[in-house]
Structure formats: structure tokens, C-alpha cells
Amino acid sequence: MEPIINLKNITFRYQGEQTRAALQDVSLTVNKGEWMAIIGHNGSGKSTLAKTINGLLLPETGSVSVGQLDLNEENVWTIRKMVGMVFQNPDNQFVGATVEDDVAFGMENQGIPREEMIPRVKEALEQVKLTDFASKEPARLSGGQKQRVAIAGVVALRPDIIILDEATSMLDPEGRQEVISILKEIKEKYQLTVLSITHDIDEAANANRILVMREGRLVDEGTPAEIFSEGPSLVEKGLDLPFPERLKQALKDRGVTVPETYLTEEGMVDWLWTSILNK
């Protein structure tokens, strides 16, 4: 496994923020091709962490490297080329006047010739299934569609890493579903590394690894199975309980002995079937 993002002992403090640093001594390695979810309460420092990765914020202490490059003033634009970001509010990241203009915005910034932009815009829009919307204005799109445009803008740049900062939290379930399934497709197709900040368990369940943040620190890390098996303490960490865990809890409250390990829905059905009902 080849590491692609490396944070060492990052501390970050916002200007005028006296009480505590937004990030305190955070170290983190993300491997190539991984899907990593970051969870934690509102204000725990997730967005701040994401922004230090591509140099939108510069840490007080510690070092950041992406690919083989150390983040510094010289490399920052190269690193931003490698890291695509999708933010929370669909309205506040749409720069272009129409869908295709917005997809092209990042490429324009990199000085990619127009002849090359045209097929890339087309391909990216196909990828997010918005080909018919190329000339539409943002005001005519739903939230989910706007986020897909943002993803297309990232895809068009052929990055290695995509960071989603609560990209689905302002969407309705349908929009959320659209975005997640598109994301899965492009991750496979382009061999991307995904870092997704989320409060949504279904989204976190897609990850290979989950990181938990609290008050500016990384406090826990593990596979979804490991993290989800922690039961009710998960809520305090800023995530909902997956349904099988909730059911296990309810059964436990009723005096039923339940397995300690994490069960997926499938696993839960099997267990109930064999141990509870047909014993």
C-alpha cells in the first residue's frame, strides 16, 4: 500500500481563536485507492483538517505531503491539481454561469487549451449523467444536480484524490443517493482516493476506514465494522447507529444475548434467523 497523503503533527489555530486550536497534533496517513471517512461533531475540526491537505489553510506546526510532494508555497498549486474538493453548500461553489462553464472552470485555471477542454467537459458530464444539462443555469438545478456538477468539475481535472466535505448533508435522500452512487462509479473508474467527511452512516459504511475527530484531535480510527461495533458511544462521536446496532441494543434491553461483533443488515438477518427465531 502506497501512502498518498501524509500529515505529521499538524496543529492549526484560527486567527483570534484563543480557547483551543482547531487542530491539535493530528497525524494521518491515507493510502492510495483508499476510501476514508472522517466523522465527528459539528466544530470538531473536520473541515479544517480537509483544508490543510491542499494548502487552503497553512498549519502552525507540522508537515503535509501529498503524492511525493511536500506542501509548500511552490508546490501548492500542483497539489491543488491533484486534490479535488467538493464542499457542503451546493450554491456556494458553483462559479460558472452554466453547467458546462462551471465544469470547465478548473481547467481554465490550469491553462488547458480549449480544444482539450471540450471533450473533457463532455466526458465529465457523461460521467455524472448530466449531459443534457450542459447549458443549464445553476438556478434550474436541484441541490443533488449541483453537487454532481461540482464532482464533474473535479473529474475533468483528473485528480488523484477527491475530498468531500459534507457534500451530501444539505441534500434530500434522493440527491444524496445520486451523489454517492456517482462517487462510487468514478472512484472505480479513475482509481481515486476518496476522503469523505460525513454525518451519514450509509456514506461512512462505504469507506475502508473511518477516522473519528473530537475537539481538534483524532480520537479513533478503524474499519466501519470496528467503529460501528462500538454501539451507543457512536452517537457521541457524531454518527448515528446503523440499524442492526440499534436493533441489537433494543434486544439487549429486553434481555436477549446478542453477539459482540458488528453485523451488517445481511448478517443481522441471518443471525436473527438462526439464533432467535429458528432455534
Partner 1 sequence: MMNKLILGRYIPGNSLIHRLDPRAKLLTSFYFIGIIFFANNWQSYLLLGLFTLFCVYLSKVDFGFFLRGVRPLLWLILFTVALQVLFTSGGEVYWEWGVFQITEFGVQNGIFIFCRFVLIIFMSTLLTLTTPPLELSDAIEFILRPLNVIHFPVHEISLMLSIALRFVPTLMDETEKIMNAQRARGVDFSEGNLIQKMKAVIPLLIPLFVSSFNRADDLATAMEARGYQGGEGRTKYRVLHWHKKDTVSVCVYAFLTVALIYLRA
Partner 2 sequence: MDIDFEQVNFTYQPGSPFEQRVLYNINMTVKEGTYNALVGHTGSGKSTILQHLNALLKPTSGNVKIGERTITSETNNKNLKPIRKKVGIVFQFPESQLFEETVGKDIAFGPKNFGVSEKDALELAKEYLSLVGLDESYLERSPFDLSGGQMRRVAIAGVLAMEPEVLVLDEPTAGLDPQGRREMMAIFEQLHQTKQMTIVLVTHLMDDVANYADYVYVLEKGQLVKEGVPEEVFQDVQWLQEKQLGVPTAAAFAKRLEKKGMTFKKLPLTANELADELVARRGESL
Ligand X SMILES: Nc1ncnc2c1ncn2[C@@H]1O[C@H](COP(=O)(O)OP(=O)(O)OP(=O)(O)O)[C@@H](O)[C@H]1O
Residue type, 271: W
Pseudo-torsion of CA 251, 252, 258, 262, nearest 10°? 90
Residue with cell 511552490: 74
* Contact call for residue 33 and ligand X (CB under 6 A): no
Lay out the site mask for partner 2 across 44-83 (x = CB under 8 A, - = otherwise): ----------------------------------------
Residues 235 and 76 sit within 8 Å (Cβ to Cβ): no
Q: Which amino acid is at 145?
A: Q
Tally of residues, the chain: 279
- Residue span binding ligand X (CB under 6 A) among the ranges 37-45, 105-113, 126-134, 262-270: 37-45
For cell 451488517, what's the residue?
264
C-alpha cell at 62: 507540522
Partner whose binding site includes residue 111, from ligand X, partner 1, partner 2, none (CB under 5 to 8 Å by kind): partner 1
For Mg ion, which residue of 44, 47, 54, 198 counts as binding (CB under 5 A)?
47
Query: According to CB under 8 A, which one of 8, 32, 41, 122 is a site residue for partner 2?
Result: 41
Q: Quick count: other Cβ atoms within 10 Å of Cβ 236? A: 11
Residue whose C-alpha is closest to residue 198's, from 147, 260, 145: 147
Interaction residues for partner 1, span 63-92 (CB under 8 A): 77, 80-81, 83-85, 87, 89, 91-92
Q: Is position 205 an interface residue for partner 1 (rule: CB under 8 A)?
A: no
Q: Greatest CA separation found in the chain?
A: 68
Determine if 123 is a binding residue for partner 2 (CB under 8 A).
Answer: no
Percentage helix, strand, coil for the chain under 3-state DSSP, each rounded to 5: 45, 20, 35
Name the one residue in this structure whose C-alpha cell is 469523505: 196
In terms of Cβ atoms closer than 10 Å to its own Cβ (0-12, 13-18, 19+), residue 274 is: exposed
- Lay out the site mask for partner 2 across 217-246 (x = CB under 8 A, - = otherwise): ------------------xx-xxx--xx-x
* 267 lies in the site for ligand X, by CB under 6 A: no
- Is position 43 an interface residue for partner 1 (rule: CB under 8 A)? no
Distance separating alpha carbons of residues 125 and 67, to the nearest angstrom: 27
Instruction: List residues binding partner 2 (CB under 8 A).
Output: 41-43, 88, 142-143, 166, 169-170, 172-175, 199, 235-236, 238-240, 243-244, 246-247, 249-251, 253-256, 265, 268-269, 272-273, 276-279
Instruction: List residues binding partner 1 (CB under 8 A).
Output: 51, 54, 56, 77, 80-81, 83-85, 87, 89, 91-98, 100-101, 104-114, 117-118, 121, 137-140, 153, 157
Instruction: List residues binding ligand X (CB under 6 A).
Output: 14, 17, 22, 40, 42-48, 166, 172
